[in-house]
Chain A
C-alpha cells in the first residue's frame, strides 16, 4: 500500500506539464543518441548535462534518465538497418536484426525490438519500485565503513570486469581517483596538486573531463578512422510482429528481462554484458540454435529486453546507495551531485518527489518511447542517414558549448581538450574509460567515508573488516578482483602442462 501511495505521489510529480515535457525531451534525445552511430549513451548524457544545470533536480534527473533508457531503444534501429550498433548494448541485436532486414523483414525486427524494449523497460521499473525502497531501508543502517566498502566494491568490479584487462581497468579507476584529489581538501583546507594555479583550487571539473573523455575522444577516433555507413534502403512496412513471431519471442523477452535487470543492478556487469549473456542463453536453450545468426526473431527480442531492463536495474544501486553500477550511471551520479542532490538511502525520505517522480516518469517514458519507436520509426530512419561529416563537427561544437557555457571559463575547455586526447589514447591502447569516470565521481566521496571511518576507529584500519557488512563487502570485492587473476594463472598452468605432455610424447 505504501508503495502504491508513493507511486501515486510520483505520478502527481511526473504528470506536471514541466516534468512531462522534460520526460518527452529526454526520451526523444535519448532515442536520437541511440540511433546516431558515433554518439554513445555516456557521450549523449555528458554533453546534455550542462542543459540541466539550473533546472529543478527532479526535472533534470527525469530528463537524464530518459536519455539513458531512450538510448537503449534507439540503438537497435542502427543495428538492424545498418549492421552498426548505435550503442555497445545493441551489438548482439546486429547479428539477427540485420539478417532480418536483409530478408526484407526490417519492420518486424524494429517492431519486435521496440515491443521487447517496452515490456522489459516497464517490468524493470516495477522491479525498481519494489526493490529500491526495501534496499534503501536496509542501507539506512549503514555507517561510513559500509559505504566506503561499497565504493571499493564498485571500483574494483567495474575496474576489473570492464575491458580486456583487469590491470588496465584498475589503472584507469585509480587515475580517476587521483584526478579527484586535485584541489582544496575540504576537511583540512590544504590545496593539493594545484601547482599554484588558482583555476585548480576548486578541483578538476567533472563536466570537462567526461565531455572530453567521451565526446571529444569519440569524435577524434571517428575522424581518424573515417566513419562510413550505409543504411538498408526502401520503405519500412509491417511493424507489428505476427503470431508466429510472438510465440517464438515471448519467452525470450521474459528471460532477457530477468537477466538484464538482475545483471544491471550489479556493479561492473553492465548492459552490454547482459545483452551478450541473454543472447547466448537464448541460443543455448533453443531447439533450433542453427537459426541464430541467420535472422532469428528471438535473437532480437532477448538482447533488446536485456539492455532496457539493465538500464532500469542500474537505477537501483544509484538511487538507494548512491553507488553507480555502470559508466553511464556514474555520469548520472555526477550530474546529480552537480545539481546538489546526493543519492543514497536518505533520498527516499528527504526527496520523495525526486525518487518517486523519476520512477513514475519511467513508466510514462516507456510509453512515449513505444510511440516514438513504432509509428514514428520513419523519422529515426531518416536520422540514421545524416552524414557523419555533418554530425561530427556539430558534436564537437556542442561539446565546446556545454563546457564553456557552464562557467564561461576557457580553462575548462582546455581541460576538455586534454581529456579528449587522453580518452583517444586510452581507446587506442584498449584501456576502458568507464572506471576513470567512476574513480573521478567516487573519489571525493570515498575519501570522505574512509576518513570518517578511521576517525571513528581512532585510526584503526581493521574497522573495515571487523564490521560484518563491510567485511563481507570487502571480501566480495577481493574475490571478484582475484577471480580473473586466479583463472588466468590456472589457464597458464594448464597450457604449460599440455605443452610438457606434447613435448614428452
Chain B
C-alpha cells in the first residue's frame, strides 16, 4: 500500500481524536480573570491547530502527486506477527509479574521473545535469559533493594 493512503488514514484518525479532544476542552471551566487563566485555553488552541494540520495532511495525501507519497509502505505478515507476539509477551509479562514474581517471569519473558528475533542455539536460548534474569535479580533486588514482586519463589 502506498504511503499517501496511510497518511490519509492517519490524518482521519488523528483528526477524529482532535475533534473529541476539542469537544472535551470546551467542557472545561469558564474564564475567571482572563481567557488565558482557564485550563481549557491551551487545549482549545491545540485542538484547532491539530484539526488544521490533519486537514492539510489529508488534502496533501489525496491531491498531491509526488514520489514521496507514492512510495510503498511495506508490512510483511510474518514481521507483523512477530511484532504482535512481542507485544503479547510484554502484556503477559506485566500480568504474570505479581503471580510468578520478578525472577521467574523475567526468565519466561526472555525465553518467549528470543526466538522472535531469529534463530539461536538452544543453550543460548535458555542460558542467556537465565543469566540475565539472575543478574537483574541480584543487581536490582538484592544489591539496589528495588521492590519487585517475589511471587512463587521464596526470594
**Interface of A toward B, CB cutoff 8 Å:** 164-165, 167-168, 170-171, 174-175, 177-178, 181, 185, 187-188, 190, 192-193, 216, 219-220, 222-226, 387-390, 392-394, 396-397, 400-401, 404-405, 408, 410, 413-414, 417, 420-421, 424-425, 428-431, 443, 446-447, 450-451, 453-455, 458-459
Q: How would you classify the secondary structure of chain A's contact residues: helix, strand, loop or mixed? A: helix
Q: List chain B residues, Cβ under 8 A from A220.
A: 83, 86-87
Q: B57 near A168 (CB under 8 angstroms)?
A: yes
Given A164-B68, A400-B90: A428 in contact with B132 (beta carbons within 8 A): no
Q: B94 near A390 (CB under 8 angstroms)?
A: no
Q: List chain B residues, Cβ under 8 A from A177.
A: 42, 46
When chains A and B are docked, how far (Å) is the Cα of A257 from the Cα of B36?
Answer: 44
**B152 at the A interface (CB under 8 A):** no
Q: How would you classify the secondary structure of chain B's contact residues: helix, strand, loop or mixed? A: helix
**B37 at the A interface (CB under 8 A):** yes
Q: A389 near B106 (CB under 8 angstroms)?
A: no
When chains A and B are docked, how far (Å) is the Cα of A55 from the Cα of B43?
Answer: 35
Q: A389 near B119 (CB under 8 angstroms)?
A: yes
Q: List chain A residues, Cβ under 8 A from B43.
A: 178, 181, 192-193
Q: B34 near A393 (CB under 8 angstroms)?
A: no
When chains A and B are docked, how far (Å) is the Cα of A193 from the Cα of B47?
Answer: 13
When chains A and B are docked, how far (Å) is the Cα of A164 from the Cα of B132?
Answer: 39
Which 4 A-B residue pairings sit nearest by Cβ, starting from the closest? A454-B36, A459-B34, A224-B79, A185-B39
Q: B28 near A190 (CB under 8 angstroms)?
A: yes
Closest to B43 in A: A181
Report 5 cross-chain contacts, Cβ distance below 8 Å, ordered by A residue: A181-B42, A224-B79, A226-B79, A389-B118, A389-B124
Total interface residues on B, using CB and 8 Å? 66
**Least Cβ–Cβ distance between B93 and chain A, in angstroms:** 7
Given A223-B79, A400-B90, A400-B93: A390 in contact with B68 (beta carbons within 8 A): no
Q: B110 near A175 (CB under 8 angstroms)?
A: no
When chains A and B are docked, how far (Å) is the Cα of A420 from the Cα of B88?
Answer: 13
Q: B113 near A455 (CB under 8 angstroms)?
A: no
Q: A178 near B50 (CB under 8 angstroms)?
A: yes
When chains A and B are docked, how far (Å) is the Cα of A400 from the Cα of B148?
Answer: 12
Q: Which of B1-28 contact A (CB under 8 A)?
A: 3, 6-7, 10, 14, 18, 21, 24-25, 28
Q: List chain A residues, Cβ under 8 A from B113.
A: 392-393, 396
When chains A and B are docked, how far (Å) is the Cα of A405 from the Cα of B146?
Answer: 7
When chains A and B are docked, how far (Å) is the Cα of A424 from the Cα of B6?
Answer: 14
Q: A417 near B39 (CB under 8 angstroms)?
A: no
5 new A-B contacts, CB < 8 A, other than A171-B14, A190-B29, are A181-B43, A188-B38, A216-B90, A390-B124, A455-B37
Closest to A185 in B: B39
Closest to B79 in A: A224
Q: A388 near B118 (CB under 8 angstroms)?
A: yes
Q: A429 near B37 (CB under 8 angstroms)?
A: no
Map CB proximity to A onto B32-69 as digits: 1 under 8 Å, 0 otherwise. Answer: 11111111111100110110011011001000000010
* Most chain A beta carbons < 10 A, residue from B41, B106, B117: B117
**Least Cβ–Cβ distance between A306 and chain B, in angstroms:** 26
